[in-house]
Amino acid sequence: MKAPIVTDTTLRDGSHAVSHSFTPEYVGTVVSRLAEAKVPVIEVSHGSGLGASTIQQGFSTHSEWLLIEQAVANKKDSKIASLFVPGLGTRPEILKAAEYGVEVLRIAVHCTEADVSLQYFEQAKKSGLDTVGFLMMSHTQPAEVLAKQAKLMESYGADCVYVVDSAGALVPESVRERVARLKDSLSINVGFHAHNNLGLAIGNTVAALEAGADQIDGTLRGLGAGAGNAQTEVLVAVLKKMKIETGINLTVLMDTAEEIVAPIFKYPSVIDRDNLATGYAGVYNSFLLHVREAAEKFKLNPVAIIEELGRRHAVAGQEDWILDVALELQQKELAQKELVK
């Protein structure tokens, strides 16, 4: 089994877990440490991608361009990547990212909507960027559908396409099936991005590697949306135990996770009731903070909102649906109480 390319996405996916409050100084420190550890790719942007600092997605405390500026200044030999979601980001963000020194653009769409990414892949390639396709919510579609969508991204210029377990809903068998199908269908690299809602982020990533994945993601201490991601330091340790040498310094990663990342956690890094419900129901992980706010506002159990969003097959970009669902559930609950009277 060959060594994969590791992307650390603490400073992007982890942004969700801290309400997009990273400071430029903090980003500079973390990037410097990751670069010292020789992590090949470091992702930096708003949690939902370039241009996503909005009322719907959550406003950033600091401009992501200031964050990217600090990342580029401290990256050494690592590459800086940013996420881009069509509709949240626009072509000017791609041009600006290239100007600021971003080298890898990861273009993320719902896993049945690859066709909306064409113009953005074209722009990214014109801007000299490496390009990665992100098929979000990959648990919702069978392997053959994902392969067709990945082929579209390949034809648009993607250098790699990821199976993205946005809800932490996949299990090892379903990961192997999806990654293997993409490997059989594509002539470019295949990646895997895990979340830990079912406690399987590391196991699923290993399953992806066994199926031939070329690239994998992690975050320090697992900091990320929902129950978090596969822990970068744990992934590197597991790969070392498997005799797969990544060239990444495990000691530096462990120290950074413990001393720099652990202190900023707003919530304990555990699979609690809400996170487990999110993974089991297959609901997009970045919804969770919005769900908790709605549950408090409407005096509901968060799980009830999560389960209803799962039944409605909510996808990324439908965060405004959360309030509608919560209001409807509250009205039903009140109506039932009236009937009991």
Region of poorest pLDDT, from 103-112, 201-210, 320-329: 320-329
Residues 256 and 314 in one domain: no
> Number of structural domains, the chain?
2
**C-alpha–C-alpha distance, residues 26 and 318, integer Å:** 30
The domain that holds 317 is classified in CATH as 1.10.8.60
Residues 228 and 287 in one domain: no
Boundary of a domain, candidates 263, 295, 317 = 263
Q: Let me know if residue 216 belongs to a domain.
A: yes
**C-alpha–C-alpha distance, residues 13 and 4, integer Å:** 20
Boundary of a domain, candidates 198, 228, 263 = 263
Q: Which segments are annotated as binding site? A: 12-13, 166, 193, 195, 284
Residues 138 and 278 in one domain: no
Helix H or strand E segment including 79: strand 79-84
Instruction: Give exposure, 285-318, as e/b (b: 16+ Cβ within 10 Å).
Output: bbbbbbbbebbeebebebbbbbbbbbeeebbbbb
Residues 148 and 281 in one domain: no
User: Could you give phi then psi for residue 162, rounded to 5 degrees?
Assistant: -100, 140
Q: Let me know if residue 88 belongs to a domain.
A: yes
Residues 195 and 307 in one domain: no
Q: What is the pLDDT of residue 91?
A: 95
Q: Is the model's pLDDT at 337 over the cut of 80?
A: no
Region of poorest pLDDT, from 62-66, 218-222, 274-278, 281-285: 281-285
CB contact at 8 A, 51 and 90? yes
**C-alpha–C-alpha distance, residues 60 and 245, integer Å:** 36
pLDDT grade for 334, boundaries at 50, 70 and 90? confident
Q: Which segments are annotated as binding site for substrate? A: 12-13, 166, 193, 284
| Domain residue limits at 296 | 273-340
Residues 252 and 288 in one domain: no
Q: Is the model's pLDDT at 140 over the cut of 80?
A: yes
Q: Let me know if residue 181 belongs to a domain.
A: yes
Q: Let me know if residue 166 belongs to a domain.
A: yes
Residue 109: helix, strand or coil by DSSP?
Answer: strand
Q: Let me know if residue 65 belongs to a domain.
A: yes
* pTM confidence score: 0.91
Q: What is the pLDDT of residue 174?
A: 97
Which residue matches tokens 């400071």?
23
Residues 200 and 306 in one domain: no
Mean pLDDT of the region 7-23: 95
Q: Let me know if residue 268 belongs to a domain.
A: no
Residues 190 and 319 in one domain: no
Instruction: Give the other-Cβ count within 10 Å of 238's Cβ.
Output: 17
The amino acid at residue 124 is: A
Q: What percent of the chain has pLDDT over 90?
A: 72
Residues 298 and 201 in one domain: no
Residues 311 and 225 in one domain: no
Residues annotated as part of the active site = 16
**C-alpha–C-alpha distance, residues 178 and 128, integer Å:** 29
Q: Which segments are annotated as binding site for Mn(2+)? A: 13, 193, 195
Region of poorest pLDDT, from 164-173, 226-235, 312-321: 312-321
Q: Is the model's pLDDT at 340 over the cut of 70?
A: no
Residues 279 and 316 in one domain: yes
Q: Let me know if residue 169 belongs to a domain.
A: yes
Q: Which tokens belong to 14? A: 């982890």
